[in-house]
Amino acid sequence: MSFIEFKYSNCFSKINNYKNYLNLLKNSKELDSIIGSSNFLKIINNYDEINKVKKLCTDLLGERKKPFKKFCIFGTGGSSLGAQTLINLLPGKNKETIIFFDNIDPIIFNERLDKIDILNTCFIVISKSGKTPETLSQFSALLTKCEERGIDIGKIKKNFILITENSKNPLSSIGKEYDLLLIEHDKNIGGRFSIFSIVGLLPAYLAGVDIEKFIKGAKISLSDALEKNTIFHIEGASLTSCLYQEKNMNINVLLTYADSLKAFGSWYRQLWAESLGKNRLGSTPLHAVGTLDQHSQLQLYLDGPKDKFFTIIKSNFADQGAIMHNILGKFDASYLSNKSMGDLMHAEQNATIQTLINKNLPVREIFINKINPESLGSLIVHYFLEVIGVGIILGIDIFNQPAVDEGKILTKNYLS
């Protein structure tokens, strides 16, 4: 059972190593080993994380006479983007209970924090290492705010959940100091790979996402890949690597049309950039949003340097949404008259794809009939596996990120 379909145009002409890479990955013991041994994929095939999340929420919410009004997530990068990707699926009203603090703009942070009813808010603080300066600054600023308002942390310790490694680090030490709830972050799952863990699932479940369906979609796609029922990930990794190496297409454009995939685009950029941008290798991920970026980026895509590979995620929007008024027929816009907004969206995504094809640009279409937790789980698994494949082809360790350490050291130096 496949939740997503793939179609390729202008991708395979004059590339030499595609079949070689395809066969390499089809027979790769390294690929099978990484998939089989990686905790971020292994947890898909058991329901321990789901049970852990549900029990935590039952305990957390059951002890209160009144439910929390809001849930605030302190975290950055992978500690936040996975949950945001899941919650982005929900209608606007459902999203309002979860507030993400993923940046440290001092003005905006302070303004937003001042509006928070601390006594009726649950704060979930996430940092794998427990040393992330941005997250520590957010959390400690909240502690200062509590002191300023005369709030005793000891009396509201049930308002805090800290997710971090089981090690001696600043976040866990603060948690123990105040006797706050500490949840272990699997040390073998990096932030950008943590969406199927409690890091992604807990905020999503609190917001109302059906995390069981999310895991179900992931499980089906992972099983299909392991059993070689589908090779979409192998095709994608081989094709992307060939276009990068042989055609110098070093910009990987992901164009999504559904607003429910905006956060997914940010998640994708982190996964691709941090995993594959090493040793002077790796293509640059770029996320564009249709139809918005048709009016800001498409001119460059069509008529600029031919250094881009395009993946367009499309869905079925036909006959959906508000109906446009027939008055348009009087003013040289009859093509819109009595059509739904979904009809326009559907036409625009197809027109953009065809225009790229007509310009002889390499295009991969990923069609998702309905964007929901199951299809999102499938899409996430696809990109995990594709990134693993590209890493094997290019000889890159996808799990580290050594180059960013210098910036962390310099930040400390500037503050010292």
Catalytic residues: 274, 295, 408
Which residue is listed with tokens 């979904």? Answer: 342
Q: Which residues, 6 or more positions from 234, have their beta carbon under 8 angstroms from its beta carbon?
A: 22, 25, 26, 389
Alpha-carbon Rg for the chain, nearest whole angstrom, is 23
d(Cα 408, Cα 415) in Å, to the nearest integer? 11
Q: How many CB atoms lie within 10 A of CB 384?
A: 28
Structure tokens at 300: 């460059």
Report the DSSP beta bridge partners of residue 371.
Answer: none
80 vs 263: CA distance, rounded Å: 10
Amino acid at 215: I
What tokens were used for 89? 């699926």
At 98, list the tokens: 């979860």
Our CA dihedral for 133, 137, 138, 140, rounded to 10 degrees, sits at 130
Nearest Cα to 208, choosing from 46, 98, 126?
98
Look up residue 324 and give its DSSP letter: P
Cβ neighbors of 181 (< 8 A, separation 6 or more) are 157, 158, 160, 161, 162, 175
CA distance 212 to 152: 37
Q: How, if at all, do strands 363-368 and 5-9 pair?
A: antiparallel
In the structure encoding, which two tokens stand for residue 216, read together?
């179900």
Q: How many helices (H) and strands (E) does the chain have?
A: 17, 10
Helix (H, G, I), strand (E, B) or coil at 405: helix
State how far the Cα of 273 lies from the Cα of 269, in Å rounded to an integer: 6
Q: What phi and psi values does residue 16 have, to the nearest 5 degrees? A: -95, -35
242 contacts: CB under 8 Å, gap ≥ 6:
15, 16, 17, 18, 21
Give me the sign of the Cα torsion angle 11, 12, 16, 17: positive
